[in-house]
Structure 1
Amino acid sequence: MEPKIKEVTDKKSWEDFLLNQENSPFLQSWNSGDQFEAIGDNVFRLGVFDGGNLVGVALVMKVEAKRGTFLYLPYGPVLDWKREEYFKALIDYLKILAKEENAIFVRVSPFLKNTEKNQELFTANGFRPAPIHMLAEVLWLLDLSPSEEELMMKMDKQTRYLIRRAEKEGVKIIKSRKLEDVEKFLELHQETVKRHSFTPYPDKYFKEQFRNFVCDDQALMLLAEYQGETLATAMIMYYGDQGSYHHGASTHKFPKIPASYLLQWEAIKEAKQRGKKIYSFWGIASDEELEKNPKHPFKGITLFKKRFGGYRYDLLHCQDLRLSKKYFVNWGIETLRRVKRGF
């Protein structure tokens, strides 16, 4: 029997399937779909069914950009990649959906290890590497199976010192589920944007993400406070077997107070206490990128994350399925953008 693709309308069946997979990225969760719908995106929750059983899910967004409309799967789909017929059935459906939605290509950021075999799977099904990445593709992960004492010892000596110093200086970490604390994050985020000159998500993106995930106890806002000031904030997502440092922001007030180090340590301990197996620091710049560009804008945050111990995990690069000649306009614009920013 050939696999069938149908829209899924039941949150419980979606979440039960996703949370039982080896990899269950929160960007493919039901709440993530609700978040994107709340900020005005069209979302399609597609299920792959085999004999009536749900065997794969794909949260698909319709992205309407000036350079062309496309369908996008953030860290999806989630399915058994050994069953290529599941992937083929989904691709066939996405082609039809793209035509109905006037999309000129389908873009996939798969949560798959970067291997030659995985790239061949996409190439064989008509995909090509995208000119840019959409999400982090070089991750820095921390195994949470050791004890807290062992995790501390795996950090570099300076990091341990800075965590203890922040505690001695009186930095307090607040773990908040309050929506109003997103405003404190946004204040620091605006300062961080000015400092590093990058294009931010709109404020509503952060507000809706926190609102939709915190209702299922899948998010916390951590705030590092010192002498009545908020020095650093982090939105941590707790989903599946991971805790993820998804967004962070800080101020340069009190530059000698290492608040961000204590903030991360508390986030790591919270993930461990929740029974998570992995703490994800999210994306870093690869050694190859840093060697090529010593002034890489992510150099500082990469060195910061690595100080806590952990290991690098490379995901397959973003993949595009061209459905129209208009795709090459998008390809040209994005290629120029990548060359201009240098990564």
Structure 2
Amino acid sequence: MKNLNIQEVNNKEEWNSFIFKNTSDTFHQSWEWGDMHQKLGYRVWNIGVFEGKKLNAVCLIIKIKARRGTFLHIPHGPIVRMEIGDLRFENILSSLTDYLISLGKEEGCSFVRIASTLPRNIENDRIFKKAGFCNAPIFIQSELSQILDIQPTQEDLLKNMRKSTRYILKKAHEYKLRYMKSTDPNDFNMFYNLYKQTVQKQEYVGHSYNFIKQEFLSFLENDSVNLYFVFDNKTLLSAAMIIHQNKTGFYHYGASQKNKSNIPSSHLLQWYIIQDLKRLGFDRYNFWGIAPEDKPNHPWKGLTVFKKGFGGEERAYLQTQDYILEWKYWINWFVETVRRIRRGY
């Protein structure tokens, strides 16, 4: 392999074109995800790894300042050209690691965190350990996703669902609900209000209004987001925010409330979304994070049962990797280890 050259990529079209050609597993390395963080006040770098003039990998880097420590975060990256083999990837990771170490020290960081979408296997783990990484105590991006191929016919999609889910969907017409799809920023508050109620009732840590609103606006600039709603008369029952890129719809946020009639609105809204994406020519629906089967007390267990009811397959990613830059990392390690245990992850 020729000498690798690392430099910033400032062209949105070049960046996203490379991402879309080489992965459909995430939108967290897209230009829009970096743009969102930049507008929220984070420092962001769009780095390309070149062999001569050929772009072989990209890496969106976000500087995170938290009370537990400051670090460089690579969310669901780096993204590497698909035909790159293990040996060439080792060289890319080695060069990229040197760059990240230098940048991290310049920025006063205590560690670098890479949350890759590479398959979770022994070889990929070996490559990262050889580069000096260790397993992180907790994840930031999901390490396990449920992905549904929506190209089969509607009948085949239903046939491959769990029996109880299929039964609910076949009765959809009986509930006489009203569905709505929107990209109107004025509808965002309606979504967020229900999302906030859901977070409070289910007692989990959600994202702030500003964070999700800026995500919506950044992806809206590229026509890559939709809000979906389902109503019983005028009562909003469920809502979802879907990011769509590269023929994939990503179920990033959901919200719902219980209703007196026990209408399974979350199931019905998901089916509406799947049908809409299918009609628009999408190939995949990514339900996003699910819980591993060997953790029966995981806080996502109920959500996982819900998502898996629609069928699809699990995709496990390499465990999140940390590169330690200074001793303060161990403060972060302790805080995150306690947090992981308390939350049941």
TM above 0.5:
yes
Distance across 1 between alignment mates of 2:104 and 2:27: 24
Q: Residue in 2 aligned with 1:289?
A: 295
Q: 2:316 aligns with which of 308, 314, 322?
A: 314
Shift of 1:270: 2.4
Q: Which runs of 4+ in 1 moved over 3 A?
A: none
Distance across 1 between alignment mates of 2:96 and 2:236: 46
Tell me, yes or no, if the aligned pair for 1:107 and 1:319 is still in contact at 8 Å: yes
Q: Are 1:108 and 2:119 counterparts?
A: no
Distance across 2 between alignment mates of 1:147 and 1:101: 51
Q: Residue in 1 aligned with 2:102?
A: 96
Q: Unpaired runs of 5+ in structure 1?
A: none
Calculate the TM-score normalised by the size of structure 1: 0.95
Shift of 1:160: 2.3
Q: Are 1:152 and 2:158 counterparts?
A: yes
Distance across 2 between alignment mates of 1:147 and 1:192: 33
Distance across 1 between alignment mates of 2:148 and 2:10: 35
Shift of 1:307: 0.9
Q: Secondary structure at the match of 2:240?
A: strand
Q: How does 1:57-206 map to 2 (within 5 A)?
A: 57-80=58-81, 82=85, 83=88, 84-206=90-212
Q: Residue in 2 aligned with 1:29?
A: 30
Q: Unpaired runs of 5+ in structure 2?
A: none
Question: Given residue 328 of structure 1, which amino acid in structure 2 is its aligned partner?
Answer: W
Shift of 1:24: 5.6
Q: How many residues align?
A: 339
Question: Given residue 316 of structure 1, which amino acid in structure 2 is its aligned partner?
Answer: L
Q: Are 1:262 and 2:262 counterparts?
A: no
Shift of 1:256: 1.2
Q: Are 1:19 and 2:25 counterparts?
A: no
Calculate the TM-score normalised by the size of structure 2: 0.95
Tell me, yes or no, if the aligned pair for 1:166 and 1:258 is still in contact at 8 Å: no
After superposition, the C-alpha distances for 1:67-118 in whole angstroms (9 at most, x for unaligned) are 1110001101101452221221111111111011001100010011111111
Distance across 2 between alignment mates of 1:94 and 1:154: 44
Q: Secondary structure at the match of 1:135?
A: coil
> Which moved further from structure 2: 44-53 or 70-79?
44-53
Shift of 1:277: 2.3
Q: In structure 2, do the counterparts of structure 1 residues 174 and 328 end up closer, same or farther at CA, with 3 Å as the change threshold? A: same
Q: Residue in 1 aligned with 2:334?
A: 332
Distance across 2 between alignment mates of 1:7 and 1:196: 41
Question: Given residue 171 of structure 2, which amino acid in structure 1 is its aligned partner?
Answer: R
Q: Residue in 1 aligned with 2:56?
A: 55
Question: Given residue 88 of structure 1, which amino acid in structure 2 is its aligned partner?
Answer: S
Tell me, yes or no, if the aligned pair for 2:178 and 2:233 is still in contact at 8 Å: no
Distance across 2 between alignment mates of 1:223 and 1:23: 25
Q: In structure 2, do the counterparts of structure 1 residues 128 and 329 end up closer, same or farther at CA, with 3 Å as the change threshold? A: same
Q: Residue in 1 aligned with 2:43?
A: 42
Distance across 2 between alignment mates of 1:145 and 1:253: 33
Shift of 1:253: 2.7
Distance across 1 between alignment mates of 2:24 and 2:287: 16
After superposition, the C-alpha distances for 1:108-158 in whole angstroms (9 at most, x for unaligned) are 100111111111111110000000011111211111231122111211232
Q: Secondary structure at the match of 1:103?
A: coil
Question: Given residue 315 of structure 2, which amino acid in structure 1 is its aligned partner?
Answer: Y
Q: In structure 2, do the counterparts of structure 1 residues 273 and 88 end up closer, same or farther at CA, with 3 Å as the change threshold? A: farther
